[in-house]
Each structure stands twice: as structure tokens, then as C-alpha cells.
Structure 1
């Protein structure tokens, strides 16, 4: 790392105190930066094995944190355990993650994971349903903080949209797959043990993983690595600091920005608004299906809740297929670079949406129609289960495409755009499943799923609009225009937007 000498200014007040305390000259002050573009301590320059190790450990933490989310395996009134979880998941990241991230990704992930493990204790020992619901508000708030940390790790160690494609796809797959595996794991436990053992077993598994994370997870946030270096140098009596420490953003201002910018983008950026609605509908439908499966398979085929829990592995299989679909269309995205007239030589962000069109139309919409019109006792159960697989495929392709598109289109503002989408997703997860029983009882199995399929069909039309008028949309968005300028600067171009 390069430690450049400089004379601190008046705003470096706390460092002037350090100078006084160590009797060092102001001219001896050091600004800690990377030692050139090839500094091995820069996470972008880590060996590929170390990068994937960091991502894999984060994904592992996210995977074991998520099965608690869909609580269809809990006793009656499980809708409210899902709702409480979703409310916590919607609010906590929006308020806390940008502030917590300033401490470093390792600290955020380990600290949140430890709190989550502690919250699993009352899940298994809760003496009242109200206590269980209250605890799940906080455990639900922990899970997306851990998942967001995984996304940050991928962004910290892999540079460029192409390099991040696989990590982002795996991040979405783990999030959705672990969610859908919840009822399957719950069914396996309930077949032999009481529902309390769901919490007990998860406590044992997640607790056992904590030492592995503590030992193996490296810090991947560059600013945190530089800050730790500066702190060590100050411990040696030197006057050292990072550029961020010179003019730090107040915590209050950071939290206000983390709350207001996503909301501002949600209401002013049409792309973010539509993306949030589409992703929220897709994830909410997965949770709605989680609750409807018991009712549909029970009435049609006389299945027990445990049997219905097992069949939801079909959704997980579809989610794996959706990830494969998304990755297999990456070459379409890369090939779009030859057509880019705004930033020549770079792929067009809208090309990320091709997989969403296929997944949304064939997978999500088609799967809902199969789930609707195969819902007769005279039709073999594997046909309706095919519909679940198709919905899993389509939902995953849609969510991965949306995440990649927002990252490409908004660049440094992608975190705020994704935060707005995450807020809508988790509110949908919280409240859409509440309509499951009334929807499928009031409209019947066929028309309830048909209604969902028609909504999905309308949403599938939105990528065509974005693809056709993408250039005009970017010209009207101050956030997207800034992302274009940044890309041109990266390419050494000085042309105007």
C-alpha cells in the first residue's frame, strides 16, 4: 500500500490531536492508499480461489439463514409468521445496511449472523404464538442483511458486469432456493419430530457454521482494509489515515440518505418502479404458492401437509433451471456491445432482460396456467407439479435479470435501486400470502392461478418497452446519465451524454 505524505488540513482535527499526542510533525502524516493498481491487498487483485472462497462462505451463511423464512411448516396461523418475517426483512436493511457496511462487510456478516443464531433460541422454545411472531420480525430483519452482504462481497472482489454475472446469479439462486427448501426441510422434520425441532435443528446447524465463518471469511471492503492498515500504523506511533477518514460522512446523514434515496428512486424512476413491482410479484407468488400447495394438493389428492411440503422441491428444481437459463443467455448480453452507440464496446444494459422475457412468459406465466388448469383430481399430480417447476424457473430468471439490469444501468446508484426493489419484494412476501386461502377458496383453484398468470403476462410486456426505448429512458434519468458518464471515463472517452 502506498502511504503518501501530506499536511492535514483544518478538517483533519482528530488527526491533529494524534500528531500532538505522538509528538510527530504534520509533514509526517501519511495517507494510506493502494500501492498501485496491482496491490495484492486490493480485493480486485486477490487470487481467484480467494475471491470464490469469500463469496462461497457468504452464500453458505445466506443459505442456512433463509430456510427459516417460509414458515408453512410451523403450526396453524403460519401466515403471520411469514408476515412478521417479511416486515422485518423490508425495514431493517433499508435503515441499517448502508450504515453497517461502513464498518466492513466481515463485521456486518459475522455480527448479523451471530444475532440471527441467538434469535433461533426462542424460535424453538417459544411458549406463545405472539412471542414466535415477535421474534421473527427481528430474525427476518437479519436475513436480508446477510444476503446483502453477500452481494457486496461479489461487488467488492469481482470487477465489471461480466465478472459479476455468475456470483449474482448464485446469490439469487441461494436466496430463492433456500426459501423454497424451507417447506421441504420442515416436512422432513415434522414427519418424525415436533415443529419445535425445526428451530432446534436450525440453531445447531447455523451455530456450527459460525466458527467456520469467523476463521475463514476475509474482509472484502477496500475502505475497511485501508482503515485497518491506517489504524495499525497509528498504533505504531505514526500519523496515518485514509481518504475517507479525512472527511467522514456523519452517521445521521448516511442513514437519511440510505432511507430517502431508494424511496425517491422508487417514485421518480419508472424503471425502478416497474422492476420493483415485477420482482415483488414474482417473489410474493413463490410464497403464495408455498401456502396454497397444502390446500390444493390436500383437496385434490388428499395429501397431508407433510406430503405437500415434499412436493415443493419441484420449485427448487425450477429455480436451478432458471439460473442455468440466465447464465446461458449471457452471450446475448455480451454480443450487444457491437450495437452500443452510447458507450461503444460495452454491452447494452437492456440485453440483460432477454432471460426475463423467456422466464416471465414461458416459465412464470405458463407455469401459473398449468398450475391453474391441471388442478383437477382426474389429472395426475405430476402435471400440476410441472407448473410449480415452471414458476420456479421463471421467477428466478426474472429476479436475476432485474438485478443484473439495475446494476448495469445505475452503476454506483445500483445499491439504492436494489434497495427499493428489496423493500417491495419483502412487503410482497409479508402480505401477499395472506390472500392465499381467500383467493383459492373464493375464486377456485383454476381462476385463482389464472388471475396470477394474467398479472404475470402484463408484467412480461414491460421489458419490451425498456428494450425499445432504453436510450430515451436513460437520457431522462439523471442517475442513468451519470452511469454513462462513468463508463465513458473508464474507457477514456470525453464525449458528452
Structure 2
């Protein structure tokens, strides 16, 4: 009889393990276990709202340090995207590449960024943000270093795979910020996460122009690998795990081991039902971004803002130096300095936009009646006003940029147009990302991967037709065509979100 009771106790404990791990995976929370014998089952959560292990309650200095390191990881990725742009003619000559092959070598990195997050994001929700970030950073370093060794094939393969690995910073920066900052500070957290990355469009071509002119173009790749290695070392020291489901799963496992009175062992923790096995969790995680993209109309709508905007942004990056070389007869080095205007637009918009987002959120929240249930759960539609601002600014910048270059007026006018265009682009996409994170607070990384797919695919495709676009229409009508496409497809979206956002978000929600 004693053996029977012991077996029953072990079975009961094992069932509790499965339940706790499963609930922690889903990010649920409730009271902690009341009894070490587990007679009262429940879900594991933090021991009170002020638990120091909860990333929400970490010291501000720690949050800022982690955000800045992951921000630098994004900078590595965005710099690597554009660093070879000034050196493309030299690379094409040395490797005997055609113009289309050289353009493919530039764009293929963005294609890697499209598919990398579909693995990185769900794996970060299974294994944690930090281990996935570390592995992907090492993966980027290896493949990026291979790019200049050989001919076209290693260059294309290396650029694609390094783009996939390098996308870890872009994929995880937002989710890590959401892990550490509450909804009312969403704008501030996204501004912090984007402090360094958007200097990349300027630093990349500047570094590329200088290195290719005074050293040799293979060092463009090796320099970025060294930079990533330095960021990785800092991350190993200072970055801590932030993913709540992962932290709660570890907490549940530790509690059960400590309170199991000898019945609960490490082996038993691993012996979960088929749905809880690691392979099953990985499979479910890998399918999640695709399922979200296919079944949630709200993600499909937000994809248009992010997708078309990012495609146009990469297109402008690809031809921007050429404008000043062809139209204003500047040197490669001088033309690369013009990318400062793009970095200025992105940095100003993300930093001021982040704080403006929190101000708008607080004011809309204050207007709600005292007894409104929305006070406890503000809707994502509070982000729509800032989306409107960004979406309306972007086409103004495109018109300004295109016709200034077409008319050969002072080069500073082209830079002003580029700054306006980029500011509108990033302001709208940042607010759209905040909308997404408000709706998908549990699986932010997977939702982010889903929304970025279209953007990176367009970022890959748009530069491929840039020469034909501007050769056929010129800079004025070429950019005007892009602006008209934006007005027709994207400008109505904020109205749709404001009026029917709640109904759209409900479709496909389980």
C-alpha cells in the first residue's frame, strides 16, 4: 500500500509539472503554490508585483544597459545591409560581376533578414532571448566573414545566411523592450531600443566608402564581424534573460524540485506529455509566426505599413549615393556623407516619436471615464494618431527628394527631402510596431517576425528595379510614382484601424 501511495504521489507531482510548464509556456499567471505537497495545484507567477526577478522591476540602469547592447546588435545588422553599397562597383570589377549580380549581392542580405526571424523569434520564446541571440550572433560572424572569400557564390550565400543570423538584433530588440517596460512606457522603450540602429544607414555607407577607398573591400565584412564580436562579448557579460514564459518555466521547475519531497526529479521534469516535449514546443513555436500571418487580418494590414515603407527605404538607400555622383558630380566619399541626412531623419523620428507616443497614450487614457474597463487594458488604437502623422509625412519627403534631384537644385534640398521621407517612414512603422506589441503581448517576437516578412521581401525586391525605375521616369516622376502607391495603399489604413480595429483584432484570436 505504501508503494501505491508513493506512485500516486509521483504521478500527481508529474501532472503538476506538466501543468505548470504548460502554463508558463503560455505566459499565464496566478497565485503561487500553497503547499509543498502540491495538494493545491496552481500556476506559477512572480511572488507579488514587486518581485525583483520580474524584468518589469529590474533597476533602470540594468534595463538601459540591456537595451543599448541589443540596440548595438541592430546597428551591426543595419550597417552590414548598406556597408557594401559604395563598394559595389569595385566588388563587381574584382569578381567580374554584372550590374544585376552586384545588386543581388546587396539585396540578398535583406532577403536573409526576411526568413531569419521566422526561426529566431519562436525559438526565443522556447529557449529564451539571450541564448538565441548569442547563437545567432556567432552565426552572423562566421558567415559574414566568409563573404569576401571566393567569387559570387560564397558572396551570395554568405550575405543571405549572415542576414538571417544578423536579424536577431532587429527581431529581439522590440520583444526584449516589451519584456522589461510596461505598456505606458512602450514609446520610451522603443526609442531606447532604436537609439543606435538607425545610425547604420549613415555609418554603413560612410565606413564602406572610406574602407573601400583606403584599404580594401574585403575588410568591409571583416570589420563588421569584429564589431559584432565586441557587442557579443558585452552581451555575454551584461544581458540577462527577459522572456517571461521562459523565466516562469525555470521558476516552476525550481519550485517543484525544492518542494517535491524527493518525488520530483530532474528526469521527471523532462518527462512531460507529448504536447510538452521539447520537440513539440519547437514545432509549435516555428509554426506560430506563419499562423499569425495567415490567420490574423490585423497583422496583414500592419504588414502593408511596414512592408511598403521598408521596401521604399531600402530602395532609397540603394540609389542615394548615385544621385549625388550623377547629378552633383561628387566623389564616392563625399556622396557617402549624404547618408547622414537619412540617419538624421530616422534618429530624430524614433527618439522624439517614442516620447510623443507615450504622451499621446497618457492623454487618451486620461480622457476615459473613471469606471471604463479600458483603463485597465488600453486598446492598441491609442497608437493610431502617431501612425497618421508618419504616414502623411512620408509622401511629402518622396516628392521633395525626387523633384529636388530632378531639378538639380542645391544638394541640401535633396537631403532635406530624404530626412522628411525617412522621418515619416520610421515614425509610422514605430507606432505600428507598438500597436502590434500591445495586441500580441505574449508572443511579441513571433508577431514581429510575421509583420517584418513583407517588409524584408520588398526590401529585397525594390532595389532590383531601381535602375529601370529612375532610368525610365527620372528621379522626379520615379519618386512620385512611389508616393502615389503609398497614398493609395497605406494612407487609408489608420482610418480602418481607428474605426474597425477592435473587430479586426478579434478575427482569428483564440
The TM-score range, normalised by the shorter chain, is: 0.7 to 0.9
Task: Report what 1:330 is aligned to.
Answer: 358
**1:127-172 CA-partner distances (Å, limit 9, x unpaired):** 21221111111110112223323223222222x3112321223334
Partner of 1:366: 396
Residue number in structure 1 paired with 2:498 = 467
| Distance (whole Å) between structure 1 residues aligned to residue 356 and residue 254 of structure 2 | 45
Partner Cα separation in structure 2 for residue 178 and residue 142 of structure 1? 17
**Pairing partner for 2:193 from 162, 166, 171:** 171
Q: Which runs of 5+ in 2 are unaligned?
A: 1-7, 19-35, 93-100
**Which residue among 92, 107, 116 is the counterpart of 2:140?**
116
Q: CA RMSD in A?
A: 3.3
- In structure 2, the partner of 1:215 is 237
After superposition, what is the alpha-carbon deviation per residue over 1:292-321, rounded to whole angstroms, capped at 9, x for unaligned?
A: 123322221122333222201101100112
Question: Normalised by the size of structure 1, how large is the TM-score?
Answer: 0.83
Per the alignment, residue 388 of structure 2 pairs with: 357
> 1:189, 1:198 within 8 Å by CA — same for their partners in 2?
yes
Note the residue ranges of structure 1 that are not aligned, 5 or more in a row. Answer: 1-5, 17-25, 483-497
1:327 Cα deviation (Å)?
2.2
Partners of 2:289 and 2:320 lie apart in 1 by: 34
Aligned to 2:115: 91
Alignment match, 2:297: 270
CA contact under 8 A between 1:87 and 1:140: conserved in structure 2? Answer: yes
Counterpart Cα distance in 2 of 1:378 and 1:211: 47
Aligned equivalent of 2:420: 390
The count of corresponding residues between Structure 1 and Structure 2 is 462
* Partner in structure 2 of residue 21 of structure 1: none
Residue 437 of structure 1 corresponds to 467
User: Which deviates more from structure 2 when the two are superposed, residues 142-151 or residues 257-266?
Assistant: 257-266
1:69 is matched with 81
Comparing 321-330 with 27-36, greater Cα deviation is found at 27-36
Relative to structure 1, the CA distance from residue 110 to residue 447 in structure 2 (aligned partners, 3 Å threshold; closer, same or farther) is same
Match of 1:279 in 2: 306
- For 1:265 and 1:101, the matched residues in 2 are separated by 15
Sort the Cα spacing of 1:374 and 1:13 in 2 relative to 1 into closer, same or farther, 3 A: same
Residue 392 of structure 1 deviates from its aligned partner by 1.3
Structure possessing the higher relative contact order (Cα contacts under 8 Å, 6 or more residues apart) = 2
Cα pair distance change 1:263/1:114, threshold 3 Å: closer
CA-to-partner distance for each residue in 1:427-469, whole Å, 9 max, x for gaps?
A: 1111111111111111111111001111222212210222133
The separation in 1 between residues aligned to 2:16 and 2:44, in whole angstroms, is 16
Deviation at 1:194, TM superposition (A): 1.6
Q: Does 1:288 align with 2:310?
A: no
1:11 positional shift: 8.7
2:103–2:464 contact (8 Å) kept in structure 1: yes
Deviations 1:8-54 (A, max 9, x none): 436938989xxxxxxxxx95999976444433222222222222222
**Aligned-partner Cα distance in 1 for 2:386–2:17:** 52
Structure 2 partner of 1:495: none
C-alpha change, 1:10 and 1:427, in structure 2 (3 Å) is farther
Between 1:296-305 and 1:165-174, the stretch displaced more is 165-174
**What's the offset of the Cα at 1:414?**
4.5
Partners in 2 of 1:46 and 1:246 — Cα distance?
Answer: 32
Contact 1:219–1:225 under 8 Å retained in 2: yes
Q: How does 1:371-450 map to 2 (within 5 A)?
A: 371-376=401-406, 378-412=408-442, 414-450=444-480
| Corresponding residue for residue 135 of structure 1 | 158
From 54, 57, 68, the equivalent of 2:69 is 57
* Equivalence for 2:129: 105
1:365/1:391 contact within 8 Å kept: yes
1:279, 1:448 → 2: CA distance? 21
**What does residue 98 of structure 2 align with?**
none
Over 3 Å counting, the alpha-carbon distance change for 1:209 and 1:345 in structure 2 is closer
CA contact (8 A) 1:12 1:246 kept: yes
Q: Name the residue aligned to 1:198.
A: 220
Q: How far does residue 353 in structure 1 lie from its aligned partner after superposition?
A: 2.0
Evaluate the alpha carbon distance shift between residue 376 and residue 15 of structure 1 in structure 2; reply closer, same or farther with a 3 A threshold: closer
Question: Do 2:306 and 2:455's aligned partners in 1 also have CA atoms closer than 8 Å?
Answer: yes
Contact 2:383 2:431 in 1 (8 A): yes
Q: Do structure 1's residue 9 and structure 2's residue 36 form an aligned pair? A: no
